[in-house]
Structures are given as structure tokens and as C-alpha cells.
Amino acid sequence: MKRRSFLKNALPASVTIPSLLDGFSVKAFTGASPLVQALMGTTTETDKVLVMIQLFGGNDGLNMVVPIENYSSYYNARKNIAIAQNKVLPLNGTAKTGFHPSMTGMQTLFNEGKLAVVQAVGYPKPDFSHFRATDIWMSASDSDKVVYTGWIGRYLNLEFPNFPNGYPTAQMLDPLAIQIGSVASLAMQGPTFPMAMNITDPTAFYHFLENEGVDEPVQATPWGKELEYIRMIMGQTEVYSNVIRAAAGRVNAQGSYPSNNSLAQQLRIVARLVKGGLKTRVYMVSTGGFDTHSSQVEAADTSVGGHAKLIAGVSDAIKCFMDDLKGLGVDDRVIGFTFSEFGRRIKSNSSLGTDHGAAAPVFVFGKHVRPGIIGTNPAISPIAEQNDNVPYQYDFRSIYASILKQWFCVNDTDLQTIMLKNFQNIPLCINEACGLTGIDDLRNDGEQLIINYPNPFVETTKITFTTKGGHTLVQVMDTMGRVVKTLTDKEYTSGTYTVTFDGYGMPNGVYYARFQNGVTQQVRPMLKTR
């Protein structure tokens, strides 16, 4: 049996290497990860770092980013959990949108120009299973296709096709990626092996810094050669462990972080390693508890409760992290983003909670983000029903592709290989080394780019859109957030065009026309009646 076949078939997907460091479990992941490749690749010299923050459980974006512009529809859909309008935190430069009152840290970052909010992030056919939806986000696959590699893993495989053989090298002594605080992520999985080093939790990290480990001898078994191969991986892990120790040892003082905030403690480690000089380009951290089917708020005061504590923890952790990076003098090197496997329904349930939904906002933070609100407030029908979802505006894979292109200077040909297809380029960050990105016009504020007539309609309605030219997409979605028809998906010259949506045989109710042209998108609600 070949070594890789043995490892793939005989070991768990997240095999824990035997204790190297006084019982501290370190997982040496030897696969290939697309994003990390772009970050750490030999073809791209960069000191830039990406931090991914996963919010396990499906975060309720409507109570996190409150649509003041259409507050009455928001309130009517979730009266028992809606945030009182006079408690919503205001944001500089917009009166249409505000933050949950517990998000003072992120409000400060937004007002300082260090935070972007991408509205209604999702994908055409949402899945509402925690496990499957997580796999979709990690693999960057279409929801009807199962892909066993991660978006970061594919990129690493492009840059380091022979990894782990021969690594670490003189040019790359450090781990390609580091994940803290959860099981190994599919995002880091390459064609054969994962490509991140996993640190189980912050407490184990500090235990690890203080102790040296002793290698255990390989036993004489029929699998001796294969175990020797595992030992090679262990040796790589030990080298990586040593460089992590060295990097951490170079930092003697950091900013203040709340001790009772696990996410903050994970980010504290990231800041320390970045300042310590690791060339690691991707870090992944996580926090859970966002599956808020019940008791999301307190009945007497909807601004407090379980969800408020969760998002306060995220907001405080990111603010402390950003302050620490600035104090350490490395804030120009780091951007990060938050994501969850899905959002929640527009309407609340009778248990002071929300059920599994579709699209939700993504926060992108850093000194060099393009700040502000990207997109428009979600369309909320005044007659929203129990199963209605926020229609997606931006495909989550556009965020991945845009960061790779704008922060890590990945070229378009490699992007298509990594992301499996082409995706919209969204203005998220600025890295002068990547040159101009051609992003100069979002056209989302005020100008009506897509309309339909008649509205309401019985069977058919004409949808008129104005494109600047280039690739233009018009889709129709139902209230579950699913794309039910694609009306056009091609190159256009600039101008105004009309297509017809034929809803014959489709249920009556609200539908959404989604327009996308270059970096611009808009969503228009339509009503089908008898």
C-alpha cells in the first residue's frame, strides 16, 4: 500500500500526532489549501495575513445589522425579538443601517474606517443543515455538488504541489496555516492532506510554550514504513512547533483582552504570532452558540439575552485584537472576516428565537479594508411569512475570491482554478502591491438599476435593468432564498434591457429579482397574485 493511501484510508481525517510536547496535541495537517497557497506561495512575496472567524450555529444577521431604513417591516416580522429602534447603534455615513446595541467595539471600528459590512451573503440554493452548509462554505462548492477539498486547500496545492514532502524548506520554515480552537476544518483540506497546524485551545497553547516533548519510538510492526512516514510528519510538526515557540517568545507584552472571552484569547495568540515574525498567512479561529432557536433575547428587553452576549463577545474580541495589532505595530499586515454557515429566518418564532435561514452579513475588518456598507438593507416583505428568508445579494465565494485577488495578489487564472469558477469582484481591501483592481463604482445608493412591471403581477412581468456593460446576471429567487430562474447570464454592451419572467404554475407570493453587473448588485421584491 502506498504511504498516502495508507494515511488516507487508515487514519482519521484529523489524525492527532502522538504527544510531542508534554501531552499537548498538535495536529500536523499536510494537505493543500487554496487560500493558504496564495498567501504562502513561492510565486507571491507578501507579508499579508488573513484571519478567519467562524461563528458556529448560524448567526442572526437581522438583529446584528438592523435595517433602520425599513424598520417597520423588520419590526412587524419579529416583534418579540426586534431591537428597539432607539437602542440601535448609529454608524457614521449612513442613516439607513445600525448595529445591535451590544456591538460598541465594532461600531467604533466602523466609524474609524476599519470595518466593512457585506450585506446578505449567501448562495443560490441554500442548505439549512449545519453540517452540509458548513461543508459548502468550507469547500466553496455549489450546494448540489460534494467537494472534498477546501478553498484554502486547493490554493496551497497550486503553490505547494509536493507538500508535505521536503517541508519545511529554507524559504518556508513556518506552518502554512494555523487553526485554533476547533477540529480541523475542511477549508484547509487539500487533495490528499490538510495543510494547517491545529492548536486545540488557548490554554494548551501556553502549556505548549512552557514544555518540551520527547519523541516516542516507532514500534516494529507490519506498518513500520508507514509509521516512519507518520514520524516524518511528526518531525515537521516538531520543527513548526519550535518556530512557533520562537515567535511567541519574541513578544513580551500585549494589549488587554477579556479573560472570559474564548474568541478574544484565540485572537490574542494570533496577534502574538504575527508580531513574533511567523510567515504564516492564514489563521482560523472560532466561537459557537449561534443556533438561537429559543431564548435569543430577554422578553422584557430584547437588547439583552443569549444572542446579545454572543455578538458582544465577537465585537469585543475583534476590537481588542485590532487595538493590540496597532500597539504591536503590525496592524497594516492583517485583515480578517467573520462568517457563519447560514443566517436565520426573517420572522421570529414563538420561543423568542429564530430558525435556520439563508443569507446573513459578513464583517471584514482591518486597517486596509475598504470601509462602509456594501450592498443594501435586506428586502423584507411587509407580509413576511414563517419560512421567508433574506434573499442573498452577494455570493460568499465572491468574498473569498476578492480577498485572494486584492490582498494576496492572486491572478485571475489561478483564481478560477482555486474557486472552481469565476466570481464577482467585491471591493474589500487595499494592497498596493496588487495594483489596481478596477473597482470604482458600486452604484448601490439611490440609483434604481432593476425594476419590474406590472408589480404585482398574475403570471408574467417584464424586468428592466440598466447595465454598464460586461457580464450581467438577472436571477429570480423565492422566499426560501433559492434561485428559481436565471433570466440572463451573459455579456452586454452598456444600456437598458428588458427580460420577461414567466411565473406560470408557480405559487403566488413574494419573489425577488436579483441583478448583478460587475461589482454592483441590487435585489427587487415582486409580488405574484391571482
Domain boundary among 390, 409, 434: 434
pLDDT values of the chain reduced to their tens digit, one per residue, 530 residues: 343 333 333 333 333 333 332 233 334 333 344 444 444 444 456 789 999 999 999 999 999 999 999 999 999 999 999 999 999 999 999 999 999 999 999 999 999 999 999 999 999 999 999 999 999 999 999 999 999 999 988 887 777 777 777 778 777 778 888 899 767 899 988 788 777 888 878 877 877 777 654 444 555 555 555 545 555 555 566 678 888 889 999 999 999 999 999 999 999 999 999 999 998 989 999 999 999 999 999 999 999 999 999 999 999 999 999 999 999 999 999 999 999 999 999 999 999 999 999 999 999 999 999 999 999 999 898 888 999 999 999 999 999 999 999 999 888 999 999 999 999 899 999 999 988 655 555 545 567 899 999 999 999 999 999 999 999 999 999 998 999 999 999 999 999 999 999 999 999 999 999 999 988 888 999 999 98
Number of domains in the chain: 2
- Residue 44 has which C-alpha cell? 507571491
The per-residue DSSP string of 371-423 comes to -EEES-PPP--TT--TT--PPPSEEHHHHHHHHHHHHS---HHHHHHHHSS--
Q: Is residue 93 part of a domain?
A: yes
CATH of the domain at 180: 3.40.720
Task: Indicate whether 313 belongs to any domain.
Answer: yes
Distance set, CA 98 to CA 36, 257, 486 (Å)? 34, 25, 33
465 sits in which H/E element: strand 460-467
Nearest to 32 by CA among 167, 205, 173, 123: 167
Q: Is 417 in the same domain as 501? A: no
Q: Report the CATH number at residue 473.
A: 2.60.40.3080
Q: Mark whether 243 and 317 lie in a shared domain.
A: yes
In this structure, is residue 445 part of a structural domain? no
d(CA 324, CA 258): 12
pLDDT for the residue 350: 95
Mean of per-residue pLDDT scores for the chain: 85
In a domain? residue 440: no
Task: Report the distance separating Cα 80 and Cα 349, nearest Å.
Answer: 8
> Is the same domain home to 97 and 245?
yes
How much is the pLDDT for 521? 86
In one-letter notation, the amino acid at residue 259 is S
Q: Which of 273, 267, 314 is nearest to 65 (CA)?
A: 314
Inside any domain, residue 5: no
- 345, 388 in Cβ contact below 8 A? yes
What pLDDT score was predicted for residue 215? Answer: 46
User: Does 235 lie in the same domain as 103?
Assistant: yes
* Whether residue 102 is found in the same domain as residue 198: yes
Q: Whole-prediction pTM value?
A: 0.84
Q: With beta carbons less than 8 A apart as the criterion, state whether 158 and 413 touch.
A: no
With a CB cutoff of 8 Å and minimum separation 6, the contacts of 162 are: none
Of 141, 147, 119, 133, the closest CA to residue 58 belongs to 133
Residue in the structure block whose three cell numbers are 421584491 = 525
Same domain, 361 and 476: no
Domain, as residue range, for 515 = 450-528
Q: Are residues 192 and 54 in the same domain?
A: yes
Is the domain of 457 the same as that of 512? yes
Considering the domain architecture, whether residues 422 and 467 belong to the same structural domain is answered as no
- Out of 392, 409, 434, a domain closes at 434
pLDDT at position 220? 56
* Residue 4 located in a structural domain: no
Asked, for residue 314, whether it belongs to a domain, the answer is yes
Phi first, then psi: give them for residue 490, nearest 5 degrees: -160, 180
**459 and 416 inside one domain:** no
Q: Does some domain include residue 10? A: no
Residue 216: per-residue pLDDT: 47
Of the three residues 393, 408, 434, the one that is the final residue of a domain is 434
- Clarify whether residues 215 and 271 are in a common domain: yes
Q: Are residues 248 and 326 in the same domain?
A: yes
Q: Which grid cell is 477?
A: 429567487
